[in-house]
Structure 1
Amino acid sequence: MSGVVSGRAAGLVGSVLAALALAVATIAPWEGKRNEPYRDPIGILTVCYGETRVPMRRYTDAECTAMLESGAAGFMEGVRRRNPGIVEYPHQWAAHTSLAYNIGQSAYDRSSVARLFAEGRQVEACRFMNRFVYAGGKKLRGLERRRAAEVELCLKDAR
């Protein structure tokens, strides 16, 4: 019995690590990295990889990377809390995490993406990400491209 439990635990750890690596790799290029604080397209003060929840000061590359990894892990946990079954699907988990990182945890928790996944409508949930392309009431080409990448990642293990 302990072999089954430890095998299952190892599988979960592998899923967590895979999803985190995919999420970080997805988030980083879309957020971009600036070590100095700047205003994002809708005027929100931001630093490093789109971080808004830290003191606005200059950060080193290592600090930005650590912040991204920690932030992604936190959003990943929030996505798991909202939809526990997502741990079985590392590509979807990473895509949902990237979306949550970008729109915020509470917006993700209320989203149709999260609801559709919870209802077992995985493909629809993935495709619904394409609706999150507005910021400040404006449709942004960068968000359209980001969502297309998230949908592509999400669909890799959607059923």
Structure 2
Amino acid sequence: MASRLRKASYGLTVAGALAVGFVGGKEGVSTRAYRDVVGVPTICFGETRGVRMGDTATMEECRTMLGDALVEFEGNMRSCLTNPDKIPDKPYVAFLSLSYNIGSRAFCGSTVARKANAGDIRGACDAMLSWNKAGGRAIKGLTLRRQEERNMCLEGA
């Protein structure tokens, strides 16, 4: 499946650089494992898979994990979008940020994906705002992140 984040030589595209900078900036970074707001062990730029308390990573390992994870999440996101290459870069990266944060399955079943597939990019951008909860309660940081994702999304819509 094609990637808009990496070129064949594994150099970052413009969309890839935008995605790494945007998602990395929203996630923050910790080289030591910690528990997120709902208690899940997390490391680096929000990586949770296989993380155990006590784990550590270098910044280089964190950057590599983020790049690899974004390409993986991009592939999953593309699989549930009918015309991913017709989505402008900024909405595309905003959708990828959301997918990375909420998970591919949640993104693919979301109103965001349904509206994007219907060609309603602005509606998809607006629908991102509803994904501001963790553990059933609204989280200020997620509310702010969704607003920033929506703003970037609308810039390209």
User: What TM-score do you get using the length of structure 2 for normalisation?
Assistant: 0.87
Contact 2:33 2:51 in 1 (8 A): no
Please give the secondary structure, in 2, of the residue aligned with 1:53: coil
Aligned 1:1-159 pairs, distance under 5 A = 17-56=13-52, 57-88=55-86, 89-158=88-157
1:135 and 1:43 map into 2 onto residues whose CA distance is 10
Where structure 1 has 5 or more consecutive residues not aligned to the other structure, the ranges are: 1-11
- Cα displacement string for residues 107-129 of structure 1 (whole angstroms, at most 9, x for unaligned residues): 00100000100011110000110
Greater Rg by CA = 1
Give the share of equivalent positions with the same residue, in percent: 35
* Residues 55 and 136 (structure 1), Cα distance of their counterparts in 2 relative to 1, 3 Å cut: closer
Distance 1:99 1:73 in 2: 14
Q: Which has the higher contact order (CA 8 A, sep 6+)?
A: 1
CA distance in 2, matches of 1:129, 1:110: 13
Residue identity in the other structure for 1:44? V
Structure with higher helix content: 1
Q: Cα deviation per residue 1:12-49 (whole Å; 9 max; x = unaligned)?
A: 96xx8222222211111221111111000111111111
Q: Distance in 1 between matches of 2:51 and 2:132?
A: 27
Map Cα deviations across residues 122-156 of structure 1 (whole Å, 9 max, x no partner): 10000110000000011111001101111111112
Counterpart for residue 7 of structure 1: none
Q: How many aligned positions are there?
A: 145
